[in-house]
Chains A and B, each alone.
Chain A
Amino acid sequence: MALLEVDDLSVTFARRGQRTVRAVDGVSFSVDTGEVVGLVGESGCGKSVTSMAIMGLLPRHPGTRIGGKAVFDGTDLLGLDDRARRDIRGRDVAMIFQDPLSSLNPVIPIGLQVTEVLARHRGMTGGAARREAAGLLDRVGIPDPNRRLKEYPHQLSGGMRQRALIAMAVACRPRLLIADEPTTALDVTIQAQILELLKELVHDSGTALVMITHDLGVVAGMCDSINVLYAGRVVETARRRPLFREPRHPYTAGLLGSVPRLDSGRGEPLNPIPGSVRDVLSWSEGCAFAPRCSRRVDACLDETPPLVRTYDGRTYRCVDPVPLPGAVPAQAGPADQPGASSPEPNEEKTRD
């Protein structure tokens, strides 16, 4: 049993006079202790809503429906009442947000915001809490922590604020950390510092980390396994190396082909995915990616493509996946030959 099992999570937003939006549509993934799992996708793919639903942070509104399960260490987080959820949140499960300025309270000093967590979950007050807070700031690499504790968020630089936020998140040594675009607002040199810090935390404390990002480069350096989301569904799940070496879903392949790389030359044309994320089909009508897909066949529009599970633990949701490169028969199994669009012998299909 993994530490966090998200099973068939769905979130719909209904508003009067507007089309009901299915932001998350049957997302399943799991995270083990000490593992870094990535949720990757473009804006509107449901990656942030997934994390907000798990954390119980979606605004209460009669039109917001959350379905499925998110089982953390035997407890379904979605079924908890507020009190029980508050006990878990910040202690066992913590979150880091994208924009550190808007996630910190601007009128409360940093120190008080860090000690608040310690008081709520670890019962620490006064000098002990202050010492612990200073230790935490020191741990995340904030120089002169005792002075910084008295400062307000606006007095800190962007990278420093993100460090403070990480300090608050790890204050109770959570077993699961969810980081939603933790470095998107930061410069690359600061991003490298923060990613290194997160890696250290995972390595030292065995914290499980869910990394939500749109940046494939960040994922390539950090995650053990990766879920690629499109229009509210996971379209491909794989370990890090196979995903980048042999993407099977055309969307994953398209994303990799459209990113300019630092180690590729000037003028090599990029292969963009045509259209935009607005050109989606509802999953109930077929494959949501079909309108933009270069490998589209008639079968794509018949029904929701089933989830295909390969023998090596990869899954993808595509009726005509990108063939494996034929040049590497040693790595691919004998039955896993390129060009096979029909179900392969050791792939099982699961309908959901």
Chain B
Amino acid sequence: MTDNEILVEVRDLKVHFPIKRGVLFDRTIGHVKAVDGVDLRIPRGKTYGLVGESGCGKSTLGRALLQLTAPTGGEVVFDGVELTTLPPARLRAMRRRMQMIFQDPMSSLDPRQNVESILTEGLQTHGIGGNRDERRAIIGAALDKVGLPRWALSRYPHEFSGGQRQRIGIARAVVLGPELIVADEPVSALDVSIQAQVVNLLDELQESLGLTYLVIAHDLAVVRHISDIVGVMYLGALVEEAPSDRLYTEPLHPYTRALMSAVPVPDPDVEDRRERILLAGDLPSPANPPAGCRFHTRCPWAQPTRCADERPVLRDIGGSRVACHWAEQIASGELRPGHAGAGATRASDGDAVPEPVSIPAPTAKADSADG
């Protein structure tokens, strides 16, 4: 892959938030390491999906990428330009090319602005369109793209349904003609029948406008559906990154496996057959992450050596990047999940020896499950 094909490159990105205490003089007593050393590359015209549970730092990563939150360290290169050291005026100009879609369309749209005003604001800021008529034409085209009628212009956000509001949010991002769109939980606030409309819209826009997406979501099925590459985050770091299909058919990191096995699938046959890897306990505090591998406190495969004292780095295994010392041994079935330490519980009906891969592989077994 040449550099020209990579639109965004993130190198060793860190975002640490200080924890302060004290009345008169704030003392910094520690840091929440929301993002702690992430490397990723997003190819032009592709979708990078970022998944993880709440508190894993995925939203902070998205915001730091757009420089909405100042990174503590590392670099963000957008189309060859380093953003972290860019002077504010130039950064502002760059912002036209990278836009964001937010989770909750109600709180991300000003209730006192009508749709025309919401969509014009960005155009005025960036000096696009010479006069009102020109801007109207641009806005009208954006409305068409997202499937909203022209009469929407004079309406206010509360007059729309949730799905339509999200379309307004998308129109606001698209109207500036961006190259990159960071979508933070774009569908999680919507009803299921509406989610599909918005997901399809994002797909269509990508095709017609050649957009590059960073989609941040907790819903693995949605991410799987719209992403080319998926990165899985746990406690501020990527634990696995792979092409979408590969990640779902052959998850290598124990956390990815657990995550995948936990997602309910709307198919009773799949639900009854599959074996669930239940993780013990909750996410540790990002202010005080475990030493060594951050997942070792909950990992069913945790080993007495290396896991607790050596932080694994992302390494290439057959096309995936995985941060696990024992990924190969786990994949081959050489290591079995143990009950020592963190302890994993398994679906009670599975009395047979658990298979190494937790979701049905795309073999005859999966075919019969789909039927």
Contacts and interface: CB of A to CB of B under 8 A. Distances in A.
Interface of A: 42-43, 143, 157, 159-160, 187-193, 195-196, 199-200, 203, 214-221, 240-241, 244, 254-274, 276-278
B117 to A, nearest CB: 24
Contacts of B226: 266
Contacts of B191: 42-43, 214, 276-277
Contact of A272 (B193, B244, B360): B193
A253 B224 CA distance: 22
A191 B171 CA distance: 34
The 10 A-B residue pairs whose C-beta atoms are closest, nearest first, are A217-B264, A272-B196, A258-B196, A221-B271, A192-B262, A216-B266, A260-B225, A187-B53, A270-B196, A273-B193
B370 interface: yes
Contact of A276 (B163, B264, B265): B163
B196 A262 contact: no
B261 A240 contact: no
A262 B272 CA distance: 15
Interface residues on B, range: 35 or more
A188 B222 CA distance: 13
A250 to B, nearest CB: 12
Q: Which of A188, A214, A219 has the most CB of B within 10 A?
A: A188
B37 to A, nearest CB: 23
B276 A244 contact: no
Contact of B266 (A43, A259, A266, A273): A259
Nearest to B366: A263
Given A190-B282, A192-B276, A270-B200, A263 B266 contact: no
B221 interface: yes
Interface string B331-370: 0000000000000010110000000000110000010011
B162 interface: yes
A335 to B, nearest CB: 24
Contact of B192 (A160, A187, A193, A258): A258
B248 interface: yes
B315 interface: no
Contacts of A189: 53, 258-259, 262, 278-279
B130 interface: no
10 contacts: A42-B193, A188-B259, A217-B264, A244-B266, A254-B193, A263-B265, A266-B226, A266-B245, A269-B203, A272-B196
Contacts of A217: 263-266, 271
A192 B266 CA distance: 14
B268 interface: yes
B161 interface: yes
Interface in B184-213: 191-197, 199-200, 203
Contact of B359 (A255, A263, A270): A263
